[in-house]
Amino acid sequence: MSKIINKIYKNNAIVYKVLLFLITVVSIVYLFPKAGQFKYDFNKGKPWQYENLYATFDFSIQKSEKEINREKQELTRINKPYFKYDSLVVLSVKTSFTDKVNYIQDNDTINLNQMLHLISTGNYIIDEVYKYGFIDVASQSKIFNENEIIYVRKANELSEFAYNKLMVYKEVLELITTNIGAAPLNNAENQLLNTLLEVLKPNVSFDNTFTQKALEESFKSISYTKGLITTGELIILKGDIVEERKLEVLNSLKNESESKVWTASNYIWIVCGYTILVSLALLMLLLFLKQYRTEIYENNNKVTFIFFNVFLMIFIQTLVIKYNSDFLYVVPLSILPIVLKAFFDARLGLFAHVLTVLLLGFIVPNSFEFIYLHIIAGIVTILSVSELHKRANLFISIGQITLVYMLTYFAFSIIKEGNASQINVYYFMLFAANGVLSFLAVFFIYMYEKIFGLVSDVTLLELSNTNTTLLRELNEKAPGTFQHSMQVANLAEAAANEIGANSMLVRTGALYHDIGKMLNPMYFIENQSTGVNPHNDLSAKDSAQLIINHVIKGIELAKEHRLPDRIIDFIRTHHGTNLVYYFYKKEQEQYPDETIAISKFQYPGPIPFSKETAILMICDAAEAASKSIKNPTAQSIELLIDKIVEKQKTDNQFVNSDITFREIEKIKKVIKKKLLNIYHLRIEYPE
């Protein structure tokens, strides 16, 4: 048992990757819908690439969503509206009219004939108003045709007549004035007019609930099929174009087949198939990291970060498909290559993006269109997104990505439909929303820096500001070292640009590489302004130890100020495993008969393990050594740089970095040119 535990402990990095791999595979497979997949792939307007297809079972031809919507629209158009007739309002109006007439009779001097005429006329008008009904203002605001047949519910009775039979305020007023007489009115007529205007109230209102209920009932009568395909019937011949009825039959066969495939017995087989496919994709990603990005592969934190981002994109996309597939293209998958390029490199970003899109192709509708759109957009993302610290760059890049989405969709649409009239503008809105959401990449980059301790160009830009606390302190305590760091940063940046390395990373690393010197600044010659050298009072061994310690102290200081690991790597490797040669030779001169322990005069390393750290080592040594030339000339500078770099090669300082001899030669050329510019001769001005 203890042997097994020891083995696991020794191989903990591999065990962790295996667990991470398994968890990611299980999580992705869990998200995928477990329905079966149709075994044929076809697209509208394209030829059928398989052998002649015959039906192996009976199935109905399903109507398209467009046809069903068209039928629903027709039913909605012919659906008759329902109105509610309130008889209680009529009784209330008649009661109120009678009470008011009796009041007039008791208080006014109106003769009996006038009173009888008043009552007769009023009751006639009320009966006419409520014969079909008096519609309220709110219901009038609905748009109905004058001659449209409507239903009016009166208690348990249902009447059917034209909408224009209902009275409106204007018609009621005309009815009253017609039956009372024209102005001027006598006292009795005037009182009747006022009474009727006061008591008459609408009693018919539009019944939206009942109308919708009737419409829904009519929807139930819609047939979702329009024909039957029997077993053995020819569906399509090889080479036939997939369009019109053939497309409808194939879509129906696909839906029926997928529903038949999914059963409790074959559920495990479907899951097994998904597991194999997802495992292969993620395994390819791991193998790519191991083969071409060894540094990332060996860092479990970075591997976790990459797998997490792949899973996150799949998780968001599957959620959208599950709840509303209409928003399929809103999900900004371009965030994945943007983020991975910001922290690593373009090639890894594109590789991970392509694998993610391929995995999503299993579950999205129109998978070929989806995959093509997103792979093209991913390529554009990788090619266009650069220097995220420049705000305008991100705006321009995302604008280009959105435009590519729209152009690609436009091309697919005209291929499918044969013209541009059927293009759905809604999709262009989705792509615009996708572009807006892509700006979340900046938020994700900031969040990931805090969670995973990674470094982006935005952070490098902030750190390279010489007003940061640490660099300002270096300038105050060790001004000579600060100036040296600035010169090295300029040399390293130019060299990195020449060979296509990360210039911002190497510049930032160069600014911080000697921060350990600020703790004992006077022991370093560039800070000795008084002419007093404290090393004169120390042994060569102690002096060497003080010099070597600036690397260790620098690392401690960087961790204390929470500098990213990628910057600390420059502090750690800028001297590699070189000797503090001056004091080593001094020790040999003092003790010629003794064997000198080289380890006491050697930097602890490690040696550079990237192009950027190798560039810094060369530039640091070159800039420091150039100060020792009393009369700098082009020849002396060239010989010095050649000698320094050859010594570093001989000492195997570059064996772990992926830098080539050709690139080293380019770096040397840049350094020589820059140093010549620094030490160029000036004309002597007359006094």
Residue the block writes with tokens 């010989």? 639
For the segment 442-500, what is each residue's pLDDT rounded down to a tens digit? Answer: 888 888 888 887 887 778 888 888 888 899 998 898 888 899 889 999 999 999 999 88
Q: What is the pTM of this model?
A: 0.61
Say what the pLDDT of residue 116 is.
Answer: 76
Residue the block writes with tokens 């000579």? 480
Say what the pLDDT of residue 182 is.
Answer: 54
Say what the pLDDT of residue 218 is.
Answer: 87
Beta strands, E only, 87-241: 149-154, 157-162, 204-206, 225-229, 234-236
User: Is the previous residue joined to 606 through a cis bond, with omega within 30 degrees of 0?
Assistant: yes
Confidence of residue 685 (pLDDT cuts 50, 70, 90): very low
Q: Residue 464: name the closest of 526, 405, 506 by CA.
A: 506
Compute the Cα dihedral for 158, 164, 165, 169 and give only its sign. Answer: positive
Confidence of residue 425 (pLDDT cuts 50, 70, 90): confident
- Cα 500 from Cα 658, distance rounded (Å): 13
Please identify, among 448, 482, 506, the residue that sits at the C-terminal boundary of a domain.
Answer: 448
Q: Are residues 470 and 556 in the same domain?
A: yes
* Residue 69 is assigned to a structural domain of this protein: no
Say what the pLDDT of residue 275 is.
Answer: 92
Mean pLDDT over each residue of the chain, to the nearest integer: 83
Q: What's the number of domains the chain is made of?
A: 4
- Cα 486 from Cα 469, distance rounded (Å): 16
pLDDT above 50: residue 306? yes
DSSP codes of every residue in 564-589: -HHHHHHHHHTTTT-B-HHHHHHHHH
* Residue 566 is assigned to a structural domain of this protein: yes
Q: Are residues 123 and 21 in the same domain?
A: no
Say what the pLDDT of residue 262 is.
Answer: 53
Q: Which residues contact 75 (CB under 8 A, 6 or more apart)?
A: 215, 218, 219, 222
pLDDT above 80: residue 123? yes
Q: Are residues 13 and 128 in the same domain?
A: no
- Tell me, what DSSP letter sits at residue 239? T
Say what the pLDDT of residue 355 is.
Answer: 95
User: Is the previous residue joined to 202 through a cis bond, with omega within 30 degrees of 0?
Assistant: no
Find the CATH number of the domain harbouring 498.
1.10.3210
* Residue 110 is assigned to a structural domain of this protein: yes
Confidence of residue 588 (pLDDT cuts 50, 70, 90): confident
Using left for φ > 0, alpha for ψ between -120 and 50, and beta otherwise, residue 184 falls in beta
Q: Are residues 296 and 193 in the same domain?
A: no
Residue type (1 letter), 326: D
Confidence of residue 683 (pLDDT cuts 50, 70, 90): very low
Q: Which residues contact 668 (CB under 8 A, 6 or more apart)?
A: 618, 641, 642, 645
Confidence of residue 163 (pLDDT cuts 50, 70, 90): confident
Beta-sheet pairing, 157-162 with 59-62 = unpaired
Q: Name the phi and psi angles at 590, rounded to 5.
A: -75, -35
Which of 5-9, 197-201, 239-243, 624-628 has the least mean pLDDT? 5-9
Give residue 241's domain range: 37-63+223-261
Q: Are residues 537 and 589 in the same domain?
A: yes
Using left for φ > 0, alpha for ψ between -120 and 50, and beta otherwise, residue 597 falls in beta
pLDDT above 80: residue 37? no
Q: Are residues 432 and 535 in the same domain?
A: no
Q: Are residues 117 and 182 in the same domain?
A: yes
For the segment 126-148, what is each residue's pLDDT rounded down to a tens digit? Answer: 888 888 888 887 777 666 777 78
Residue type (1 letter), 336: L
For the segment 68-117, what is each residue's pLDDT rounded down to a tens digit? Answer: 888 888 888 888 888 999 888 888 888 888 887 777 666 555 666 767 77
Residue the block writes with tokens 């992705």? 28
Q: Both tokens of residue 4?
A: 């097994």
Q: Are residues 283 and 428 in the same domain?
A: yes
pLDDT above 80: residue 18? yes
Confidence of residue 398 (pLDDT cuts 50, 70, 90): confident
Residue the block writes with tokens 């829904």? 216
Better-predicted residue by pLDDT, 352 or 229: 352
Please identify, among 426, 448, 470, the residue that sits at the C-terminal boundary of a domain.
Answer: 448
Please identify, among 184, 202, 218, the residue that sits at the C-terminal boundary of a domain.
Answer: 218
Residue type (1 letter), 603: Y
Q: Are residues 379 and 439 in the same domain?
A: yes
pLDDT above 60: residue 263? no
The arithmetic mean of pLDDT across residues 229-236, rounded, is 80
Helical segments of 181-325, H only: 187-199, 208-219, 244-261, 267-292, 294-297, 300-323
Q: Are residues 25 and 103 in the same domain?
A: no
* Residue 70 is assigned to a structural domain of this protein: no
Better-predicted residue by pLDDT, 324 or 340: 340
Q: Are residues 541 and 660 in the same domain?
A: yes
Say what the pLDDT of residue 141 is.
Answer: 66
Which of 33-42, 54-63, 224-233, 513-522 has the least mean pLDDT? 33-42
Question: What is the SS3 assignment for 47?
Answer: strand
Best-predicted range by mean pLDDT (184-193, 254-263, 302-311): 302-311
* Residue 68 is assigned to a structural domain of this protein: no
Query: What proportion of the chain, given as a percentage, has pLDDT over 70?
Result: 90
* Residue 686 is assigned to a structural domain of this protein: no
Q: Both tokens of residue 450?
A: 């805090």
Confidence of residue 223 (pLDDT cuts 50, 70, 90): confident
Q: Are residues 227 and 296 in the same domain?
A: no
- Cα 569 from Cα 564, distance rounded (Å): 9
The arithmetic mean of pLDDT across residues 433-441, rounded, is 88
* Residue 684 is assigned to a structural domain of this protein: no
Which of 126-140, 426-440, 588-602 has the least mean pLDDT? 588-602
Query: What proportion of the chain, given as a percentage, has pLDDT over 90?
Result: 17
Helical segments of 32-81, H only: 65-78
